[in-house]
Each structure stands twice: as structure tokens, then as C-alpha cells.
Amino acid sequence: MAAYKAPIRDMQFILHEVMAAENLFAQMPGTVEVTTDLMDAILDSAAQMAEEVLAPLNRSGDEEGCRFDKGEVYTPVGFKEAYRAFAQGGWIGLSGDVQHGGQGMPKMLAVLFEEMIMGANCSFALYPILSAGASLALARHASSELKDEYLPRLYSGEWSATMCLTEPHAGTDLGIIKSRAQPQADGSYRLTGTKIFITGGQQDLTRNIVHLVLAKLPDAPPGPKGISLFLVPRELPSAHGEPAVFNQVTCGSIEHKMGIKASATCVMNFDGARGYLVGELNKGLACMFTMMNYERLSIGLQGIGLSESSYQTAVAYARERLQGLAATGATNPAGPADPIIVHPDVRRMLLSVRADVEAGRALALYVASQLDLAHFHPEPGARARAANLVALLTPVAKAAFSDRGFESCVLAQQVLGGHGYVREWGLEQNVRDARIAQIYEGTNGIQALDLAGRKVVRDREGLLEILATEITAFLAQESSADGLQDFLNPLRDALGGLSTTTLWLKQAAAGNPDEIGAASVPYLRLMVLVLYAYMWARMAKVALAALQNGTGEAYFYDAKLKTGRFFIARVLPGYSALIAEIRGGSAPLMALAADQF
């Protein structure tokens, strides 16, 4: 099997040439010192960590898995040493608050780093990514005392963190959680309840584990408006800042899963554990969703990273595996057969994966750029516009990258035929590992419902209009560009289809609320195709200019254009079928009585 190699050149292409990160960072005081040289140095160091430290533990970690014994969880051989090296490299605090020991790097860099570690070893990656996300929530919402106490140790990797939302009876519907927080005279709270599916809830990588827990006070309002967020450490720090006192937080068991077996997925019990309020009472969901918006993008990157890893293995195999002859005549006359990469259907599978990965990577950086604008930009108007785009695109990105990432892993596995089904090549593990990303951090069906319902039909902020206006302006600006019309015209048609379908959905939902849920998944997929076409048009613009100007690397830019043209010709036309599916309405879905299933 091919060893994972970080796709540095493509990352640099999107970061520097397509998104012009240097120009963006120069506009904002908090990022003005992030230069091209610094970005490239970070990418090179990240690639070394992913390729040399994490990737070699991927298969062995899957085979060994985590072990649960008498309330303790043990990670696979090599994980503790790798985590120590990871933490010493400062990677957990890459985007952290500089006042508490973080490096303050923009999300655009963190996205590329997270894709690398997800592609190299996604089970391992989940531990530090959860810590980084929890640290973000604390940095934005916790008291100064909690920040001073916890953030430096989380950024350093001395301690780790989790988020505890789901309960045995409450997944998506968090308003019905049963975990309770009892106020104490000293201002702290005693938390009681059980949480399930807690990534890294217990492990042997760090000295202490800090849980961010959703719970309700005894007199809290019913539903989501009564949820508060609490910081609950496994061990209470002593006066010297060292873990010292056990805090009645225990792990009851770990799950036995289809994939990500080296990531401990825990049942956590809180038996009167001491906790501290984060943010305001009864506004815990708002605080937690600060973390969730970043985490959902990170989990989507699991799909992109594993797709890239799978593509590398599939391409290497297709170049070497000899089977059959090319339809136009033998290309390997000295051998018994031609390599399978000559066959159109093999190329269809490989190009489908490649086109998706490269468009997804570009969209991930685009969303990350909006997160950076929303956080760092000095102008309130620019921050507000970016925040609106983040609200619109977060569910799209999470669902798109994980859905299409899983499909890409399956396609890459198919390229290998029977060899893809056996463990030695690594693709069956990628398929198993990728599957969970469609489920956790909010199932993709929920992401689609959030998009179609809250962000489109019931939207009062004009979220979609902001995006459509931007794409329309790009189309107008580039309308006379030589060689770009093959990208612009299909994008214009797809955007028009999205606009008319959106109007149809709003009108249909006004008469029948079921239309939102019936349309939500194909509507999200429709928007993804439009967004990917937009990304490909932007990438094609840069590639064409580079070829016309003779700036070098013609081979790279030529391949970029050919991949983009495949997407436009063979993938984008699927938007018409999605529009037809949406307009099919809710009646065929709702006609069957429950007892007829």
C-alpha cells in the first residue's frame, strides 16, 4: 500500500494562489504577521508530523484498538509517545489564544493541518482536535479564572478535553437531557448524569481530562432554553495547579465500533462531580455551538483526509496492476496486459475521487477564511457578513465532506477490486473509519434539515443571498475571461437552478411543513454541487492564468484544469436530477402508513 503523503503542493495552490491568504491576513491586525514563509514552514512541519509520527501507527492502532479495564482506558502501543511528540510540537494550541499559550494561527492553517492528521491517522487526530475545540469554547465564554487555570494546560497537551452532550435517551434532541447541576454555596455546581459516545472521555495520554458538560439546573426552563454548560475536570487541580483530587467522574465502558477503533468512545458517569459554569446560565447551547461550528468543519475534514489517503493508494495500484488491454490498443506491449489506469471506468472512479477531494479542500479553506474574517477582521460589517456565511456553510461543509468522503473511500476501494477488501492495503480501514463522520457531530440528515429549514426557508438574514451575490459577482467579473467559459456557463446554470428551486421550496413549505424535511438532503447536495463548481471555476481561473503567463509547473496546472473539466462535464450535471427529486415533493414519502413499512 502507498504510504500517506501530505498533498502540500495542492494545499499551497489553494492557500496562496486561489484564496490569496497573504492578502487576507494583511487586512487584520491579529494575522498580519502570518507570512507566506511562515505558512509554508507550518505546512512542512505538519506534513512531517503526519507522515512520520502518525501514519505509521494507523494500521496497528486499528488492529489493537483501545482497551477498557476496571474503569481505565488504554490506547494502542505508540500512541502515548506520539501524543507527547504532538503536544511538544505545539500543535494542540496552533489556533489557540496567545494570551494563554496558544499560537494564534488562523483557521485556514488549522484546516490544512487537520486534514493531514485525519488522513494519516484519524483515530489519533480526534484526541487533540477535541481539545482544541473545547479550548476555543473556553476562550470565548469562560471566566478569566477558568481560562487562566485550564487553557495553558490544554494548549500544552498536559491535559485534554472532551464535549459531553449525548445521553442514552437524548441525541439530536438535547432539550430532553436529564443531567443535572446542583448549585453550591461556593459558586460551583455538583453534576449528576450519564453521557454516551464521548470521544476521549477516558484515555492514558494525558494527566487530566476536562469535560465540557451540558446539564440543567433543577429549576431550569424546559427544553433547549434551560441548558447550561459546565467545565468538569476528572481531577480537581490542587493549589499548585496539579491534578490531585478525584472528582467523581468515571468511565463505565467503551464502545466496540465499526471503525476509529483507536479512538476511545466512552460512557461517562458524573456522580456529584464538581463543575464550574461556562458562560451564562441557560445559554449553554450557544456556548457549545461556538465549539461545534469549528468541530463540524474538522469532522468534515475527516472525509477529505481519508479520501486523499485512499486516492493515493488507488492511483499507485492502478498504475501497477496489469489487467486487460486498452480499448484503443495495447499501451504495454512488452507485458502480458496493460495497467488498469488505461481503462475508462477506472479513470472515472479515480477522477471522481480526485475532483471531489480538490474541490472539498478548496471549500474547506473558503469556510475557514470566513471563520478567520468573523474572528479577526477589524470592521464589524465584514465580521457580520463572514459570520452569516459561516452559519450557512457549516452544515453544508460537514455533510458534504463526510458524505462524499465516504463515497470516495468506497470508490478508491473499488479500484483495487478484491485487494481493496483485504486489510493489507488499508482501504477497508479507511471505509470503516470514514463512515462515522456522517453520523457524529450531528448526523448529516440533521445538517441538511438545519440548512433547508433554519438557514433557507425560515431565514431572515438573507444568508443564501450573500453567497449567491458573491458568485454572481464572480461570474460577471470573469465573463470575458479566455478559456474560462467552460466553467462559468455551467456554474451560472447550476446557480440559477439553485435559486429557482429555493423559491419553489419556500412556497411549497408555506403550504406543507413536510416539504422541508422531504427536500433537505437533495437540497444540500444541490448546494454542494454549486459550491464545488464555484471552487472549480476559481481554481481554473488561477490555473489558466499560470499557463498563459508561463509561470512554470505547467504539468501541475494542466492537471488541475483537466480534473476541473471532468467535474464540470461528469459530476455537475447531477444537479438537474436533484432538482427533479426535490420537486417530486413530500407526498411520495408520507403516503405509506407507519404500519405498512
What is the maximal distance between C-alpha atoms in the chain? Answer: 84
Question: Comparing C-alpha atoms, which of 24, 3, 23 is closest to residue 374?
Answer: 24
State how far the Cα of 522 lies from the Cα of 213, in Å rounded to an integer: 34
Cell of 161: 478535553
The CA–CA distances, whole Å, from 32 to 90, 121, 378 equal 20, 32, 12
Up-side HSE of residue 484: CA atoms within 13 Å toward CB?
A: 27
Q: Is the dihedral of CA 273, 278, 284, 289 positive or negative?
A: negative
State how far the Cα of 254 lies from the Cα of 263, in Å rounded to an integer: 10
Q: Are 396 and 447 in contact (CB under 8 A)?
A: yes
Identified catalytic residue from 17, 149, 358, 441: 441
The CA–CA distances, whole Å, from 419 to 14, 62, 310, 317, 428 equal 33, 18, 13, 10, 9
State how far the Cα of 45 lies from the Cα of 6, in Å rounded to an integer: 11
DSSP string, 328-363: TS-S-TTSSS-BGGGSHHHHHHHHHHHHHHHHHHHH
Cell of 451: 440548512
Question: Comparing C-alpha atoms, which of 435, 590, 585 is closest to residue 520?
Answer: 585
Burial class (CB in 10 A: 0-12, 13-18, 19+), 587: exposed
Active-site residue 441, yes or no? yes
The residue assigned the cell 498536559 is 158
| 3-class state of residue 101 by DSSP | coil
Phi, psi at 15, each rounded to 5°: -65, -50
Cell of 208: 487530566
Burial class (CB in 10 A: 0-12, 13-18, 19+), 144: exposed
Q: Are 572 and 494 in contact (CB under 8 A)?
A: yes
Question: So which residues are the catalytic ones?
Answer: 441
